[in-house]
Structure 1
Amino acid sequence: MLVFPNAKINIGLNIVEKRPDGFHNIESCFYPVGWSDALEVTLAETFSFHSDGIAIPGNASDNLCAKAYELLRKDYNLPPVKIHLLKTVPIGAGLGGGSADAAFTIKALNQLFGLDISVDDQEKYARLIGSDCAFFVRNKPMYCFEKGDRFETIDINIAGKWIALVNPGIHISTVEAYSGVVAKRSTENLRNILREPIKEWKGRVQNDFEATLFEKYPLLGEVKEKLYGLGAEYAAMSGSGSTLFGIFGQEQNVKQHFPEFRVWQGFLK
């Protein structure tokens, strides 16, 4: 079975408070984009996981896809499978690529073996793997809160807009990103702002990681300003990683302006 785990962007990211368990409560809009990995799951005599493309740090047994398989194997007595991942979504980039891979592994196993696991239960498994992993089960625009693993529908109208994602190759871990922020509640309601036309978002829809990470990595701020200079209606950093995105009113070749970086561009759905 072949599936294509896609990335997501954060449109706004407010770090609301630190939780007793050491995590942070946030509020954000998660929005799926078309930049995708390729994931193949097939029956095998023994379990294995291997990947090509962008190198994934750590041991194969610790990969989130392997953890997803192990969760379902224990509860459903699954036979061994071979998981092959072609990794193209950058790592440590704020795009949720690893979380998507794990969630799509759950969905692929559910379909491959006819497990009939409900969407709600698939999300429960995904939450055991990572905070934003559950988003990719339904994989549609959502208002996300608590650890980024609780969702409500959101009224946002940007389908058909052109988006460019620019990754300058800086790896930022979640621990590094959170080490520089102070949790606080936003003075504006993110859900209400996102109902407004996109031209009203600039300066109001904020990513709380930008202040400290732009100071540490000035290149990130430069990319954001360049996206605005190219005509983006809204531009921001995605999540806690190093990818910047610009949303445009019409199709244009943004990639030519960033020849040294990884760039994906396409229409939003």
Structure 2
Amino acid sequence: MNSKVLEGISRAKINLHLAVLGRRGDGYHNISTLMAELELADRLALRIIKISADCETSVSVIDSGGTCSHITGGIEPGKNLISIGAMNYLKRVDTQAVVEFSIVKNIPSGAGLGGGSSNAACAIELIRRALGRERDKAVFSAAAETGSDVPFFLYGGFALASGRGEVVEPVDFSCKYHVILVNNGIHVNTAEAYRVLRRDYLYNGPDHTDNSTLMKKYMGKLDNWKKVMKNDFEDAIFPLYPELGNVKEELYGLGADYAAMTGSGSTVFGVFESYNRAIDACDSLKNGNNVVLTKFAL
């Protein structure tokens, strides 16, 4: 095989709704979430150096710039989700290879935007394409093993996710709304967020915060979003970090049609139907915050 370079786009996501339903017997938590892909994205490129039954499989990741390029170099090779996802997939298709990824990194890490999970899904897809294989069970099982959010990025768009996040149901919906991402540099530990939320009972049935049916019914009108959507983690995180709650309130004060925290934090986002209001809000929020204006991916 030649060393032709394949390229892919690895998009960020936000959780428009996130209900934590309780701890499972395997230690994970069941969730019900509505996720949406954004135009904000990293770019990955794959070069397969060698494929041979005689070689030892290895995956390297090279920093190729971007607004968050410092992140790539700070991750230990064995802990980079690009490497983990690629290795998981190669193992499942019984292929030994030496591969190299380069990444232009624009999605902040530890911000609830799914950058690492998105990178892993993109890496799996690029290797699948390079090997000329179908999108079969190996792709999805490798994604699920790599991380709870990774399977979502194999679908993209808007999707409901349940279980620990690996059960994905695409939602036939698209919109041209504008999204402001606000991050003030606070790092929220996910395990700590779950602990503070205290949803540690065993899951044994539907929970009253599972609004998936209502969301599918009413999400066509932006006015309905804050009636049927919320992020349970806000109840745990905002008392610990009032600044994050203040950002949400400020977004509403600046004309956001919907605002919430994504994931377990710490990015807070606002959805705007009006582009002019979104631009004005960005200008107002820039003092002391990292602010990004983007849109839902079409």
Which of 144, 160, 164 lines up with 1:143 in the alignment? 160
Would the aligned equivalents of 1:34 and 1:266 in 2 still touch at CA under 8 Å?
yes
Cross-structure match for 1:129 = 146
Unaligned runs of 5+ in 1: none
The 3 A distance-change label for structure 1 pair 78 and 245 is same
Q: How far apart are residue 72 of structure 1 and its match?
A: 2.7
Partner Cα separation in structure 1 for residue 125 and residue 272 of structure 2? 32
Which secondary structure does the structure 1 equivalent of 2:226 belong to? coil
Would the aligned equivalents of 2:47 and 2:101 in 1 still touch at CA under 8 Å?
yes
Over the aligned positions, Cα root-mean-square deviation in angstroms equals: 2.0
Cross-structure match for 1:9 = 14
Would the aligned equivalents of 1:15 and 1:25 in 2 still touch at CA under 8 Å?
yes
Would the aligned equivalents of 2:211 and 2:229 in 1 still touch at CA under 8 Å?
no
Would the aligned equivalents of 1:54 and 1:88 in 2 still touch at CA under 8 Å?
no
Once the two structures are superposed, residues 99-142 of structure 1 have per-residue CA deviations (whole angstroms, 9 ceiling, x without a partner) of 00000000011112212232x44221100100111110111211
Once the two structures are superposed, residues 22-43 of structure 1 have per-residue CA deviations (whole angstroms, 9 ceiling, x without a partner) of 1100001011111111211113
Q: How far apart are residue 204 of structure 1 and its match?
A: 4.0
Would the aligned equivalents of 1:194 and 1:201 in 2 still touch at CA under 8 Å?
no
Report the AA paired with residue 232 of structure 2: D
Cross-structure match for 2:213 = 191
Task: Between 93-102 and 108-117, report the one with greater CA deviation.
Answer: 108-117
Report the AA paired with residue 29 of structure 1: L
TM-score (norm. length: structure 2)? 0.83
Would the aligned equivalents of 1:4 and 1:37 in 2 still touch at CA under 8 Å?
yes
Greater per-residue helix proportion? 2
Unaligned runs of 5+ in 2: 1-5, 51-57, 202-206
Partner Cα separation in structure 2 for residue 193 and residue 117 of structure 1? 29
**How many residues end up aligned between the 2 structures?**
267
> Which consecutive segments of 4 or more residues in structure 1 shift more than 3 A?
153-156
Partner Cα separation in structure 2 for residue 179 and residue 80 of structure 1? 40
Cross-structure match for 1:116 = 134
Q: Give the share of equivalent positions with the same residue, in percent.
A: 32
The 3 A distance-change label for structure 1 pair 123 and 92 is same
Which structure 2 residues correspond to residues 8-47 of structure 1 after superposition, within 5 A?
Answer: 8-44=13-49, 47=59
Say if 2:102 is the partner of 1:102.
no
Would the aligned equivalents of 2:159 and 2:171 in 1 still touch at CA under 8 Å?
yes
Say if 2:107 is the partner of 1:79.
no
Which secondary structure does the structure 2 equivalent of 1:30 belong to? strand
Would the aligned equivalents of 1:49 and 1:61 in 2 still touch at CA under 8 Å?
no
Cross-structure match for 2:295 = 267
TM-score (norm. length: structure 1)? 0.91
Once the two structures are superposed, residues 120-169 of structure 1 have per-residue CA deviations (whole angstroms, 9 ceiling, x without a partner) of 4422110010011111011121111110110223365x611111111222
Which secondary structure does the structure 1 equivalent of 2:16 belong to? strand
Report the AA paired with residue 213 of structure 2: R
Cross-structure match for 1:164 = 180
The 3 A distance-change label for structure 1 pair 164 and 191 is farther
Would the aligned equivalents of 1:131 and 1:148 in 2 still touch at CA under 8 Å?
yes
